[in-house]
A = this chain, B = another copy of it.
Amino acid sequence: MPTITDVAREAKVSVATISRVLNKNPRVTPQTQKRVLEAIERLHYEPNVLARNFRRSESRVILVLCPNFTNPYYANVVTGIADAARHHGYSAMFCTTQGDRLREKDFLDMLKGKRADGAILLATENTEKYMVHLAEQHPIVQCSEYFPDAGLCHVSIDNYKAARHSVRYLTGLGHKRIGLITSNDAYLSTNRRYQGYRDELERAGLPFDPELVQYTGEGYHFSGGLKAVNNLLALSSRPTAVLCVSDILALGAVRAAEDSGVRIPDELAIIGFDDVEYATMFKPHITTVRIPCYNLGATSMELLLNLMNGTKALRREVFLDFELVVRDST
């Protein structure tokens, strides 16, 4: 492997000049530049990235912390991040924490040794305090889930507004008893959707009935949707519509309702969240709140770049637009 010294000898200039050409420093005459580029070409020279990273004390790698890859929601966000990163000369390194806090810490430790220049968190197992501390020393962006008022950069949709919007749509259709199928996790998004659901019921003058809120345990599983909707259908006074905090839950709900002979949307209207591929895989296609996953990822990367450069004025809080996609289930 030729080094910068070899190229300098070949082009009959000094290593500094080679470096200037490589780094597009303008104070190099076109002739010299041409000579250098030709020498590089002849020797098939490629800069030693390890040496460069060491010298510049950067790695051009970013970390992405992600609960799992199996949820297509995350898969889409991650693709947005990876594309944006690539576009700016960065490589993305992913870690699925699988609920393991230690694994997450080990992963984030790469920030310390500058083995990574920044991190995007789709969620975290660690405490707010820990993250705030880490974010003081390293560029960190939260995507989808975040700590409110912690001062960390974050990108997401306004889940509160999205839930209110969905419920308002249902009340607009004349629904009076509207259920909620949600999970027991501690995610902010889940919490905000719950709050939006309650507040919009109140605004519409509808009573809040705890029976109509079904919890599916941790995480979003198809089977959780099944059980939850069965519980709702077993009530003496059934809901006529139900909002699910994820498409997978909505899918389970649709399936269980149909298995019980409940017609959708006539007897039960169902709205999901996310608009992942599944939403249109089965019939009926489900009405859902479309979240711009890919863009969420791409935008997070843009913010992270801002943080890493430390130059441009940056927005600490970004909310992207959601969209209620009306299909067959309402």
Q: Are A82 and B96 in contact (CB under 8 A)?
A: yes
Instruction: Give the shortest distance, in Å, between A8 (CB) and chain B (any CB).
Output: 19
- Give complex CA distance A202, B86 in Å: 50
Interface string of A106-136 (1 = CB under 8 A from B): 1000101111000000000000000000000
Q: Are B93 and A93 in contact (CB under 8 A)?
A: yes
Interface flag for A95 (CB, 8 Å): yes
The answer, among B49, B82, B93, B96, for a CB contact under 8 Å with A91, is: B93
Interface flag for A190 (CB, 8 Å): no
- Give complex CA distance A223, B72 in Å: 17
Closest to A116 in B: B91
CB within 8 Å of B: which of A222-272? 222-223, 255
For A96, what are the chain B residues with a Cβ–Cβ distance below 8 Å? Answer: 78-79, 82
Closest to A94 in B: B94
- Give complex CA distance A75, B92 in Å: 17
Interface flag for A98 (CB, 8 Å): yes
Q: Which of A50, A113, A114, A277 has the most CB of B within 10 A?
A: A50
Q: Are A115 and B69 in contact (CB under 8 A)?
A: no
Interface string of A65-106 (1 = CB under 8 A from B): 000111010110011001000100001111110100001001
- Give complex CA distance A154, B114 in Å: 33
Q: Are B59 and A50 in contact (CB under 8 A)?
A: yes
Q: Are A50 and B54 in contact (CB under 8 A)?
A: yes
Q: Are B106 and A86 in contact (CB under 8 A)?
A: yes
Instruction: Give the shortest distance, in Å, between A108 (CB) and chain B (any CB).
Output: 12
- Give complex CA distance A68, B48 in Å: 30
The answer, among B75, B110, B112, B222, for a CB contact under 8 Å with A68, is: B75
Instruction: Give the shortest distance, in Å, between A58 (CB) and chain B (any CB).
Output: 8
Q: Are A50 and B49 in contact (CB under 8 A)?
A: no
Interface flag for A184 (CB, 8 Å): no
Instruction: Give the shortest distance, in Å, between A34 (CB) and chain B (any CB).
Output: 25
Interface flag for A53 (CB, 8 Å): yes
Instruction: Give the shortest distance, in Å, between A297 (CB) and chain B (any CB).
Output: 12
The answer, among B54, B79, B86, for a CB contact under 8 Å with A54, is: B54
Interface flag for A51 (CB, 8 Å): yes
For A53, what are the chain B residues with a Cβ–Cβ distance below 8 Å? Answer: 50, 53-54
Interface flag for A323 (CB, 8 Å): no
Instruction: Give the shortest distance, in Å, between A311 (CB) and chain B (any CB).
Output: 23
Interface string of A34-72 (1 = CB under 8 A from B): 000000000000111111011001010100000011101
Interface flag for A186 (CB, 8 Å): no
Interface flag for A281 (CB, 8 Å): yes
For A222, what are the chain B residues with a Cβ–Cβ distance below 8 Å? Answer: 281-282
Instruction: Give the shortest distance, in Å, between A292 (CB) and chain B (any CB).
Output: 17
CB within 8 Å of B: which of A179-225? 222-223
- Give complex CA distance A110, B46 in Å: 12
- Give complex CA distance A282, B226 in Å: 10
Closest to A74 in B: B69
- Give complex CA distance A79, B61 in Å: 20
Which A-B residue pairs are the 3 nearest by beta carbons?
Answer: A49-B113, A69-B69, A54-B54
